[in-house]
Structure 1
Amino acid sequence: MTRLFNLSSLLLYVYVGVCAAQQLTITGDVRDKNSHQEIAGVNVFVKNSQVGTTTDANGKFSLKMTEPHAETALVFRHIAYDVCEIKLDSLRTLKTIYLQPRVIPLQNLQIEARREELSGIDRDLPQAITIMRSENFRNRGFVDAADYLTTDQSIQVEEQISGKKTIGIRGSNPDDVLILYNGIKMNTAFDNTFDLSLVDLEDIERLEIIRGSQTSIFGAGGFAGVVNIVPKIERDYMVRFQQRFGTYNSGNWGLALYKNFNNIHPAYSYRKGGSSREFSGSFPGQQQLLINDSEHHTASIDYRFNANLLSASYIRSNLGYDNQRYRENIENVNQLYSLKYSGDIYRFSDFNLTASRHLLEEDQHLNAGSFFQDEFLSENIESRSNDYTVDKKWRFSSSEFFLSYQLEDASLNFHDQLYFPEEDETLTYKEQMSRRHHGFLAIAKIFNQLDSLFIPVFDVDFCVRSDYVTDSRSMDGLSTEKEWDQTTLKFSSNLEGQRDKLAYHGYLNYGKNIKFPTMLQQVSATVRRSRNDETVQLEPEISTGYDLGLELSGDTRGASNPPIDGWQLSLYLFKNYYTNKLRSSYTPGFPLAFYDNVLVAEISGVETKTGLFLVDKKLALELGFSKYAISDKAAFPFKYDIKFTADAKINHEGYNFQIHAFHEGEQVGWIRDFRGRFSEVSLPSHFNLDLHLKKNVEIKKLKFLLNASIRNLLNEDVELVGLALRDRRYYLTMGVEY
């Protein structure tokens, strides 16, 4: 019996040893063939088996194999790259696998280990959506998010002397555009704008841009479009330090920290910067400077469990502005706390819950036009906003239903003291406001699978949205209350498909959108009444219009000596009719805008973009064009009606070079004097060039970053209030990651 036991133990030992000998662990990293950037989320699996994994944020993978042999093949598959198969013998000597970028993304690709989280734009109606991924802007020398967004042919950046940057989409005003951070509203309750100079691009995964007024999910704030800034959850470093130098004694430095604890991803970044510019025409011996400084903190933690994601973040920005010519200074503190959950609740799936608190504090002091007069403006703003969202989606075989409830609870304390030298008059405004905004939304999507080979998918979508707003105001002991309620309907049809090497997507939207007067606009109306101006009762503006889009892409590889590898073409047409369009105007020397309603306004346009890819997509050529017809330039001040962009991008052996050329048309606005009379002011059209060069070098676990940029290469001599607008500027950025 003892001998039998010993024999069994020996056989078991031999069996385990044989199995262990037949196990093999394959490791490596996957990169883009042209840019040499790491590729996250690549499916790596054994051909004709269920054994597989995915690459992490560093493009690395580790895969255990049983019973390997020389003919075993590993498959590398990603939606944006050609499928690659490599036999095991070759993998033993390869440390890095390079994938070839595709022109047309792979269709119906299933990610076995995990899938990319969607930010919610897929739940909205089909629209003109542009996805700007990090490989297109990271380490390219762009100063901030606004600096990069201006490369899109449909976006115009408005930069104030204080350094604040806002954007308009399709000729719209900045307060018509909603800015989100990971789906959380960033616009202040005060004026419904957000300063995009506060957004650093280094830890951003992608920018999602919705163009047009047909968005439903994002509410009245996205009256002309939405920009969603999606941060990275997993980072490809533990520590990063970066330093930028540039024209006007500008520069900033930043430190970022990240650590992966299995499914928990904490991160923190700090950035500090500033600039100093001298006004032209300064008095002899008297230096007049424009000084900007900023300090940014961003902290986040993400927790993945099962198919769910819980995220929390805190963002704080401190801005300082000192205008020595006009003795103006501004101190601004912006804070955002947010909590977001996406996933299942008990037995119910597809929930999205968000809660955020936005705090804004701003102090402004401004002197009159003369250098020696006393201060004529002292302004203090305290804005608070709490936002909550509950979304639920139901999926069926041929349809989807989406319900959402949104609540905004905001308050404002506004205090102004103004002195008018010409009239020797001092006015004081002190007002408290609160707003409660309820939004209810329902979307139904019906999917139709057609037998047609050319148009296999045809969808029809319907949306109904109701908004209820209550504004309460208190001034000089008097309290007033105003209520609005509006219901809007939208319709959309969508078709898409792929045949051979041609992919296509088209849509048609029609409907209404609503925008309520902001707190700033209502304060403006109070100021006008206090100065014995005409009484202004602001009303919500309504937009009715259509949006038509067609997107095509083709892969020409495989043909006999093709001149190009592939191409892309997009064409968009839209037209919007506005009722009670809110119009702004400014008085020289007076910082507060005046607002009124224009009974009827209209804007229509055409946008197109073409891309060609050559030399295995190492060279990309892109042309963008937009043309708008604006009925009332006062309702859309300082918006050009034409823009042209041309880009040449080269990616080879880890080097990246980009030339960006652009032409922007004349910008026309209206100035209002103290007597209420309007006069037209225009900025001439212009053409210019930007250059960007980037190279990363890796030495063991260290990655060194270097990029150089030249902006406005043609160096136009154009000034506004003594500051150059289109002069040549240089930037150099260096960094290291571990």
Structure 2
Amino acid sequence: MSMKNNLVLTLSIFFSATLSIQAQDYLVIAHVKDTNTHQEIEAVNVFIEGARRGTVSNKDGRFRLDLNAGDMGKTVIFQHIGYHILQVDATKLRKMDVVYLQPRVIPMQGIEVEGASETNRIKLDIPQAIEVIDASAFEIRGYVDAGDLLKTDHSVQVSEDLSGRKTVTIRGGNADEVVVLYNGVKLNSSLDNVFDMSLIDLKDVKSVEVIKGSNTALYGPEAFSGVVNIIPKTDFDYNIRFQQRLGTYRSGNWGLHLHKKLGNYSGYYSIKRGGLERLLEDGVLENLSTHNTGHLTYSFENNAKLNAMFVSTDLDYYRTGSYAEDVSSMNTLGSLHFNGNLGFLTGLDISASYKELDENQDLRISATNYTRDLFDESWYLNLQKSQDMKGIEYLVGYQMQHSNLDYNKDLVFYQFQRQTHGFVAIAKTDDEPGSDFFKNVRLNLSIRHDIIDDEQKDTSAFNLPGSTQDDIYGTNSWQESTAKFAMNLYGFNDELVVNSYVSFGANVKFPSLIQQISTPSDFARDATAPNMEPEKDRSLELTTTITRDLGKLANVSGWQAGLSYFQNFYDNKFRMLSPPFSRVPVFDNVKTASIKGLEGSMTVFFFTKKISTEYGLSKYFISEKSSFPFKSDFKQTINLSIDHYGYSFQLHWFKENEQIAWLPASQTGSNPDIYTEVELPAFDNIDIHLSKTFDIKNFQFFLNFSGRNLLNDDTVLQGIAIRDKRFYVTFGSQY
């Protein structure tokens, strides 16, 4: 009995000790959120001070941290590049479900954040003025589309036609001088090098990057005035999301978004459908659209990623009355994109993609009918390799585009083929200037060579009886090399950051296919066919940005000021002559033109960035305004943002001065043999957005009210008010 009792006693002590040890182990599961917006923060380093144990918050701000009895009384540190460091007692952390971090005015310098492995492709290019708009700034604020968002920037102007098609211009340039990318794939049409920004659904977007100026080497020769780079989300903080928008002109749309992650795979699909109906004095205007987006991403162990993506947008627009129009457009994009290391090959960025546009337009003005049909398909291949070698960063790349275009213009059928090859090399070297404040001087050099081959095929056999074939050209071939140089000076301490650069170089823009078949004499007998030599641009830019952090305890947390001066000199500048009845304009040339400009902005942050107010100003000196039709040479913006406990308020005020364009007689009512200058008056307006998000268990709900053009400008184009008041309400939830 004694031995048995001893055995029982020993086992009891063992299990009691085991249970005691288990009771002293703690698993903390909580979320990290922004104290102002209450949005989850990804990639926060969470670790115990003095220990080698820690974790990182995931895409929805969630983290898991193991604590034991010995950790009680120790400090747990939360660290993120964009937020002030937070220290929490481990004992208190056990009882916390949410940890709130205060945003910084100046990101921490020299901090590597785990999980932030995506390559920032823009930094591989030479220095340029860049505006990065993160999803947190727009995803619950009721913007209708990407064009609606971009107009809040003082350097950007957005033009919207009656069908809802939106094109963007940067720094006073034209829409065909802006390259639009989606996940690194060029979206611009092979016909006119323009893209409709209303086709981008912001619910699928992680960030929007606006590159200002003509000094990019990485994104191709057509970027005379800038680049808009749309970065889609590939990982999400929900499994299912639904939203509904209702608004003026019986407008509305709904969207359903599905996401699932299984191991290294992440899949996503979304559909959005909507439209509007607007009553006119002599008819009806209706616009219907359907967006589909899908992603499948595989993440490798070495942080490399392979992403397959498709995007399709179906747009139908029609208008009845004296000006009757019917437009149907189907855009499709598919791509395969790899980024990371592949064996001994490091710094790879490889993508292959296919893009298709099928558009049909029927138009009737009085008793005259017009037709415009086009089918545009393009294949793209992008190969890019970056590497550091002996203190110099190198990037070499090859870009190929093959496009086929079928174009039917008023009974005449055209068929074109374009082959593009681009070679780019960029080198960067760093030096320390020996200053306690200025830590880095970087020299940048880029060289690019482009080869373009265009061919017009004989399609006279396909033309309808009675039509005449315009033999505009048989083949066109061009080769051009360009070089750019930039010097970047960067200095910082805990309270101040100064980033300055000067860049200069040359750029080239090859005639688009629509420019090559342009026949302005169809509308005015004194107009001449355009010269088919490429446009040339010589540019110079100086930019300085200063950021000051006044500390998280001050009412004024900090400020940021930026100033840019640039000048562009053009040779053989194409001038667009835009008939009101055509989505496809005609062109001629001016021998020389120039744009010089000053752009400035000042942002002040209050109460640990709960409130921010930004003033933006752009002034351009344009030598030949008819070469840049409907562009304001002076724009001011004020953006006021307030974020507090999940409430978000934004006010956007802007003012643009008069805009000038050349239009044919059918628009102006003057001599039918010539084009005349037409002026749209200066105007200003106000948009507001008010949003609220809140969580109930695993569900997040959101509500937004938006008012646009609240000053109700009465400007009319083709019988329709284009600057009138509009209101929208958006609501939804995600799980």
Task: Give me the TM-score of the superposition, normalised by structure 2.
Answer: 0.93
Change (3 A) 1:23 1:221: farther
Give the secondary-structure state (helix, strand or coil) at the position aligned to 2:516.
helix
Change (3 A) 1:383 1:611: same
Is it true that 1:618 corresponds to 2:607 in the alignment? no
Cα deviation, 1:402-452, whole Å, max 9, x if unaligned, reads 0000001001111122xxxxxxxxxx3211110111000011101112321
**Partner in structure 1 of residue 107 of structure 2:** 105
Task: Indicate the larger mover: 11-20 or 26-35.
Answer: 11-20
Give the secondary-structure state (helix, strand or coil) at the position aligned to 1:219.
coil
Instruction: Find the partner of 1:499 among 486, 493, 500.
Output: 493
**Partner in structure 1 of residue 382 of structure 2:** 389
Instruction: Find the partner of 1:304 among 299, 304, 313.
Output: 299
1:180-191 to structure 2, matched below 5 A, reads: 180-191=181-192
**Partner in structure 1 of residue 465 of structure 2:** none
Cα deviation, 1:145-168, whole Å, max 9, x if unaligned, reads 110110000000011111110100
2-side partners of 1:500 and 1:493: how far apart? 24
2-side partners of 1:7 and 1:185: how far apart? 76
Instruction: Find the partner of 1:96 among 91, 95, 98.
Output: 98
Change (3 A) 1:613 1:279: same
2-side partners of 1:678 and 1:17: how far apart? 90
**Partner in structure 2 of residue 524 of structure 1:** 518
**Partner in structure 2 of residue 515 of structure 1:** 509
2:54 maps to a residue whose letter is G
**Partner in structure 1 of residue 681 of structure 2:** 684
2:689 maps to a residue whose letter is H
1:141-290 to structure 2, matched below 5 A, reads: 141-280=142-281, 282=282, 288-290=283-285
Q: % of aligned pairs identical?
A: 38
Contact 1:32 1:38 survives alignment (8 Å):
yes
Give the secondary-structure state (helix, strand or coil) at the position aligned to 1:94.
coil
Contact 1:585 1:594 survives alignment (8 Å):
yes
Cα deviation, 1:252-272, whole Å, max 9, x if unaligned, reads 011110011122110000000
Is it true that 1:292 corresponds to 2:275 in the alignment? no
Change (3 A) 1:74 1:720: same
Cα deviation, 1:559-595, whole Å, max 9, x if unaligned, reads 8xx5511111011110000011111102354554221
2-side partners of 1:470 and 1:483: how far apart? 4
Could you list the runs of 5+ residues in structure 1 that have no partner in the other structure? 283-287, 418-427
Instruction: Find the partner of 1:711 among 696, 708, 712.
Output: 708
Give, in angstroms, the shift of residue 35 of structure 1. Answer: 1.0
2:509 maps to a residue whose letter is K
Is it true that 1:356 corresponds to 2:353 in the alignment? yes
1:704 maps to a residue whose letter is F
Contact 1:355 1:389 survives alignment (8 Å):
yes
1:445-460 to structure 2, matched below 5 A, reads: 445-460=428-443
**Partner in structure 1 of residue 78 of structure 2:** 76
Change (3 A) 1:529 1:365: closer
Is it true that 1:45 corresponds to 2:47 in the alignment? yes
**Partner in structure 2 of residue 442 of structure 1:** 425
2:512 maps to a residue whose letter is T
1-side partners of 2:222 and 2:56: how far apart? 38
2-side partners of 1:289 and 1:390: how far apart? 48
Give, in angstroms, the shift of residue 656 of structure 1. Answer: 0.8
1:56-67 to structure 2, matched below 5 A, reads: 56-66=58-68
Give the secondary-structure state (helix, strand or coil) at the position aligned to 1:135.
helix
Give the secondary-structure state (helix, strand or coil) at the position aligned to 1:68.
helix
Aligned pairs, number? 713
Change (3 A) 1:486 1:647: same
2-side partners of 1:464 and 1:16: how far apart? 68
2-side partners of 1:130 and 1:184: how far apart? 19
2-side partners of 1:533 and 1:234: how far apart? 53
2:163 maps to a residue whose letter is S
Give, in angstroms, the shift of residue 58 of structure 1. Answer: 1.2
2-side partners of 1:332 and 1:558: how far apart? 51
2-side partners of 1:677 and 1:598: how far apart? 16
Task: Indicate the larger mover: 123-132 or 11-20.
Answer: 11-20
Instruction: Find the partner of 1:404 among 397, 400, 406.
Output: 397
1:572-587 to structure 2, matched below 5 A, reads: 572-587=564-579
2-side partners of 1:651 and 1:530: how far apart? 55
2-side partners of 1:662 and 1:359: how far apart? 36
Give, in angstroms, the shift of residue 174 of structure 1. Answer: 0.8
Give the secondary-structure state (helix, strand or coil) at the position aligned to 2:457.
strand
Task: Indicate the larger mover: 49-58 or 433-442.
Answer: 49-58
Instruction: Find the partner of 2:36 among 27, 34, 42.
Output: 34
Change (3 A) 1:527 1:235: farther
Give, in angstroms, the shift of residue 524 of structure 1. Answer: 1.6
Give, in angstroms, the shift of residue 613 of structure 1. Answer: 1.0
Instruction: Find the partner of 1:547 among 513, 538, 541.
Output: 541
2-side partners of 1:529 and 1:722: how far apart? 22
Give the secondary-structure state (helix, strand or coil) at the position aligned to 2:83.
coil
Change (3 A) 1:50 1:186: farther
2:93 maps to a residue whose letter is L
Change (3 A) 1:144 1:589: closer
2:414 maps to a residue whose letter is E
1:304-323 to structure 2, matched below 5 A, reads: 304-306=299-301, 307-323=303-319
1-side partners of 2:610 and 2:729: how far apart? 24
Change (3 A) 1:160 1:589: closer
Give the secondary-structure state (helix, strand or coil) at the position aligned to 1:175.
helix
Give, in angstroms, the shift of residue 711 of structure 1. Answer: 0.9
**Partner in structure 1 of residue 556 of structure 2:** 564
Give the secondary-structure state (helix, strand or coil) at the position aligned to 1:521.
helix
Give, in angstroms, the shift of residue 619 of structure 1. Answer: 1.2
2-side partners of 1:673 and 1:631: how far apart? 24
Is it true that 1:660 corresponds to 2:617 in the alignment? no
Instruction: Find the partner of 1:379 among 372, 379, 386.
Output: 372
Give, in angstroms, the shift of residue 68 of structure 1. Answer: 3.5
1:239 maps to a residue whose letter is I
Contact 1:119 1:230 survives alignment (8 Å):
no
Contact 2:238 2:734 survives alignment (8 Å):
yes
1:132-147 to structure 2, matched below 5 A, reads: 132-147=133-148
Could you list the runs of 5+ residues in structure 2 that have no partner in the other structure? 461-470, 667-671
**Partner in structure 2 of residue 640 of structure 1:** 632
1:671 maps to a residue whose letter is L
Give, in angstroms, the shift of residue 398 of structure 1. Answer: 2.2
Cα deviation, 1:96-153, whole Å, max 9, x if unaligned, reads 10000110111111123x2141341110001101110111111101111110110000
Give the secondary-structure state (helix, strand or coil) at the position aligned to 2:241.
strand
Give the secondary-structure state (helix, strand or coil) at the position aligned to 1:187.
coil
2-side partners of 1:147 and 1:526: how far apart? 32
1:483 maps to a residue whose letter is S
2-side partners of 1:104 and 1:549: how far apart? 19
Contact 2:527 2:588 survives alignment (8 Å):
no
Task: Give me the TM-score of the superposition, normalised by structure 1.
Answer: 0.93
Contact 1:529 1:535 survives alignment (8 Å):
no
Give the secondary-structure state (helix, strand or coil) at the position aligned to 1:565.
strand
2-side partners of 1:481 and 1:357: how far apart? 24
**Partner in structure 2 of residue 425 of structure 1:** none
1-side partners of 2:14 and 2:339: how far apart? 48
Change (3 A) 1:533 1:70: closer
Is it true that 1:345 corresponds to 2:342 in the alignment? yes
Give, in angstroms, the shift of residue 66 of structure 1. Answer: 4.9
2:372 maps to a residue whose letter is E
2-side partners of 1:263 and 1:15: how far apart? 39
Change (3 A) 1:6 1:79: same
1-side partners of 2:75 and 2:17: how far apart? 26
